[in-house]
Amino acid sequence: MPEKTSTSSPSSPRRSCNDAGDGAGLRLLCAPELPGVCLALARGSLAVQPRHVHDSLTLGLVTAGARRIETPGRAGLVRAGEIYALQPGLAHGCAPMNGPCSAMVFSIAPAALPVELLAAAPPMLLIDDVLRRDALRLAEAFETNAGALERQSLFADMLERLTELVHGGELAARPLRPGPLDAAVRRARELLEAEADGAGISLRELAEACGAEMFALHRAFTRALGLPPHAFQTHLRLRRAKALLRAGVNPAEAALIAGFCDQSHMHRHFTRLVGFTPAQYARAHQVRRGTAAPSGDDES
């Protein structure tokens, strides 16, 4: 998918290029906390791309229709729900098959890849539910308000799953070094607990503060606590938000105090993990306190 230059402010949390001249339904998203990484979103595309080369790793998920990928000496069909991977420097051509095709495509510069992927050539076709889920979650974080830790941690999730597939599960089975990483995990947990309702820390900053490599810390933290750093941070913030809502703080204010980007950011995680919207949760506790307001869900 061709590279485009974003025209929005480089200081914005998410930069997007949506040029109607290049065809409706084509967008390019960039996040400043993920340098070297872009997400291209194509909806209902009929565009045919002749053979070309990227200097980045291409990881694409077909979301509707089918796409034909041609590489030297090989051609393959990627259907909806399937993922294709193309290593940097591999000449390839792309074309929709039997009608429009929709896809989300990550472009990842070599500098942003873990060392285990730098010298490995991924298979062109990947059919894996976990990798598909990780890619969809990262794409959602690109399209919505999300913190630096959330985007970087979801990115690490996706790359670690890709690495496991490339290496046949060897990475997941490899024992972690005791000592330094154990101490780094403890320190990372302390830092996340200390700033759970603050402005946020990125995964890179967290790793630097703990004296560990970013991907290694992410892997060790996830194994030790059962949650990746961003999910652990989200649970801490939800705990704070629930206490605020029980105390009568309105959802919009509770979201900011608890450390979420905005109300919609809290609403998304609250509904997924608690099972109720923040307004439903708040109303239930208002009834218990005898201060219930008129029914109505006015949150975003």
| Integer Cα distance of 226 and 229 in angstroms | 10
Following DSSP, what letter does each residue of 162-174 receive, concatenated? HHHHHTTTHHHHS
Output the pLDDT for position 210: 92
Contact predicate 241/260, CB 8 Å: yes
Q: Distance between terminal CA atoms of the chain?
A: 33
Output the pLDDT for position 136: 96
CATH code that applies to domain 238-289: 1.10.10
Q: What is the pTM of this model?
A: 0.77
Domain spans in the chain, listed from the N-terminal domain onward? 15-128, 175-226, 238-289
From the CB of residue 100, how many other CB atoms can be counted at a distance below 10 Å? 14
Closest CA to 162 of 87, 80, 78, 71: 87
From the CB of residue 49, how many other CB atoms can be counted at a distance below 10 Å? 15
Residue numbers in the chain where pLDDT is lower than 50: 1-24, 170-178, 293-300
| Integer Cα distance of 187 and 192 in angstroms | 9
Output the pLDDT for position 290: 59
DSSP state of 93: E
Output the pLDDT for position 6: 31
Contact predicate 125/162, CB 8 Å: no
Homologous superfamily of domain range 15-128: Jelly Rolls (2.60.120.10)
Residues sharing a CB contact under 8 Å with residue 130, sequence separation 6 or more, in sequence order: 161
| Integer Cα distance of 46 and 65 in angstroms | 10
| Integer Cα distance of 115 and 112 in angstroms | 9
